[in-house]
Structure 1
């Protein structure tokens, strides 16, 4: 279970932030005995305060002072442990050094990013070096984008087990969801808008459906794949009712799923098309509601790019480090249903469902189990390295760990 050549098995970097505390608390309650865990951040005093709140199991966890502005401290952190789990975002501002240090040190890494341009930079800077050192650099191990990535993963496995061909048109529907808007997610959106404003080529890159592909020139030409479509339920699959609006994180999650397909040599299929939408009800006015949601999402992004509206939005939207109450987190939940048609004409569906606020308590479970999966997975992990996705780095190891943690992750023929 442990590696004697490293002092630690797992370091939580950003342990004093809102989600970092949730992650530390989850690990204190659920990490098996013998896993050597440390808390890391900029302030020793704040780290001590967090550790003291975690109970006796965490009382001896080491504290590591490290700062993203101090490359020596980040490099030392990476060398000291087998796995780093970081909640410090926006990652475009604070994440490059740690991802690079882990790739150099051969240290596995997980984060919560939903930033296309950061991940593209990480791929370009770290993929080959991580392959050389054996590091798994695994971005997007929270609500962005584990339900999407694993939902397609188990869908693909079910189709393959039945010999039913390859995936073609595939849609994720957010059937139900309750939870707060993450201040960290909003700040990541702000950062990407700011970067894209300075360089139109980056805006075009972020908009490309294959922006995270290992080889964009090798991707199939499947026509337009819009993240802002309003979709009629019956056009997704028989029995799906009502109109569906664009899902707010579709423009990110879809690119992670497409990267998983490409990293697996397009195992899902060369005709695999993927989109994400969300349920807005089945009443006669739902087409109007779905259209209004699509317009609102577009307006918010435009508003972030314009100084007058940005000023207002910055005072309305949640700030980084803020989060819902414990009661609100407990009442949160999400259900995501995926539908596909295969090249043989068969129809399959999968479901990813969990309790807890999606962006907070459920995300702490997903990030925690991703980190523990890398620590404990051993030979059951896929034999791969580089800048990866949850499905390609952890696969069934993570599926099984999340099921054991109370998630429903299932797939079946319709």
Structure 2
């Protein structure tokens, strides 16, 4: 690795629950005194030292102090490293000073952001800075949205090999999901609804699948808030809670790659509930639950109750046993314009919000540093799939417990 800067990677937010999991993974996989030069960073040196000791890491693992609101300290932090991973959210509250510092310093940046309104605001702000400095800015490097974006990237690559062209429509169905929703995801959702309450015009941006593709708007996309029968898979589906962010990232990936899947590409993302009347009942119940959840998040008093009694407290999260018992399976079904179909599965071996996410963001950062030159991905605001392509899916299969495999033809 290049030795132009003291560190290859700095993990910012290491004292948070997810940050500790990322640190634990990096230590187990890459060690503290190996070729990878990495450090832990956060605002409280004493707590950083506690995390380092709790991980069993040697004192040679550096600790760096910086507050998320201290622009000068973040600028110094960014200038010391080739890449930064940050787990400090909600990003719309705490993220801008660090990502701006990275964009100005030419430092690659990766986060776990699932906040499309903030991302839409950051893209035009950061793009010119990153182009000048060479920084690669990557949002959404966890369960939202790597398995979904990379599932489409991988399936489309198989279509090019087998059919000689892209699939005009891809449908993603979450078939299995076992694990706890992360407190950060819920907190981000609450902040998004607070932003919409302050500015009602943001509601349209939130529902726009092309909100992250400035200057481009594709065809009308499938409606995703109600129960629906899938005629390809002959079963029922309901809304999937993360579709609002994942869909935007998939369309941004297509746009950044020059629309290899077509400017008329159609993508939908839903949760499978099963066949027959039982599947229909589950789909309709899921749609009702989703509408109720959105209503509760839209109301200030109920948001406060959820914040106080539902959100995980700082430092809290599922146990190691619970994380290891978790898993997920996503089916991607695509058809070309002549009706030929391909199916693929993406599976993860840990709970999505914590165990799998911590591995994905770590390996995405190292894939970007080790395998993707700036001739392939120059400075700018990217998605993981657009910047790294199949190099990322290969690395995730080799090291992060994900599998990508073709399914039987539909």
- Identify which of 402, 405, 410 aligns with 1:410: 405
| Aligned match of 1:191 | 191
Whole-angstrom distance in 1 between the partners of 2:89 and 2:268: 26
| Aligned match of 2:320 | 326
2:247 corresponds to 1:254: yes
| Aligned match of 2:26 | 27
2:377 corresponds to 1:347: no
CA positional deviation for 1:299? 1.8
Whole-angstrom distance in 1 between the partners of 2:376 and 2:21: 28
Conserved? CA contact 1:186–1:317, under 8 Å: no
1:243-280 superposed Cα distances (whole Å, 9 cap, x missing partner): 11111100110000000011111111122111111122
| Aligned match of 2:55 | 54
Conserved? CA contact 2:82–2:107, under 8 Å: yes
Q: Structure 1: where are the runs of 5+ without partners?
A: none
Structure 1 residue ranges, 4+ long, deviating more than 6 angstroms after superposition: none
2:36 corresponds to 1:39: no
Conserved? CA contact 2:187–2:307, under 8 Å: no
- Identify which of 287, 290, 307 aligns with 1:294: 287
CA positional deviation for 1:289? 1.8
| Aligned match of 2:355 | 361
* Equivalenced residues, count: 405
Secondary structure of the 2:358 match is helix
| Aligned match of 1:376 | 370
- Identify which of 249, 263, 267 aligns with 1:270: 263
Conserved? CA contact 1:186–1:319, under 8 Å: no
Conserved? CA contact 2:345–2:407, under 8 Å: no
Whole-angstrom distance in 2 between the partners of 1:241 and 1:320: 42
Conserved? CA contact 1:210–1:258, under 8 Å: yes
CA positional deviation for 1:380? 9.4
Secondary structure of the 2:156 match is helix
Conserved? CA contact 1:38–1:62, under 8 Å: yes
Conserved? CA contact 1:184–1:320, under 8 Å: no
| Aligned match of 1:156 | 156
- Identify which of 284, 298, 308 aligns with 1:305: 298
User: Which sits farther off after the overlay, 46-55 or 186-195?
Assistant: 46-55
2:229 corresponds to 1:228: no
Secondary structure of the 2:55 match is coil
Matches within 5 A, 1:172-187: 172-187=172-187
Matches within 5 A, 1:57-68: 58-68=58-68
Whole-angstrom distance in 2 between the partners of 1:132 and 1:357: 38
CA positional deviation for 1:128? 1.9
Whole-angstrom distance in 1 between the partners of 2:115 and 2:264: 26
| Aligned match of 2:16 | 17
1:141-199 superposed Cα distances (whole Å, 9 cap, x missing partner): 00000000100001111111234422222110111110012111000000000011111
Whole-angstrom distance in 2 between the partners of 1:374 and 1:288: 44
Conserved? CA contact 1:20–1:87, under 8 Å: yes
Whole-angstrom distance in 1 between the partners of 2:48 and 2:300: 37
Conserved? CA contact 1:103–1:129, under 8 Å: yes
Q: Structure 2: where are the runs of 5+ without partners?
A: none
2:393 corresponds to 1:393: no
Secondary structure of the 2:201 match is helix
| TM-score, normalisation: structure 2 | 0.94
Whole-angstrom distance in 1 between the partners of 2:102 and 2:301: 40
1:327-357 superposed Cα distances (whole Å, 9 cap, x missing partner): 1111000011100101232211121101111
Whole-angstrom distance in 2 between the partners of 1:28 and 1:381: 30
Conserved? CA contact 2:168–2:262, under 8 Å: yes
Secondary structure of the 2:51 match is helix
Conserved? CA contact 1:382–1:392, under 8 Å: no
1:241–1:224 CA distance, 2 compared to 1 (3 A): closer
Secondary structure of the 2:192 match is helix
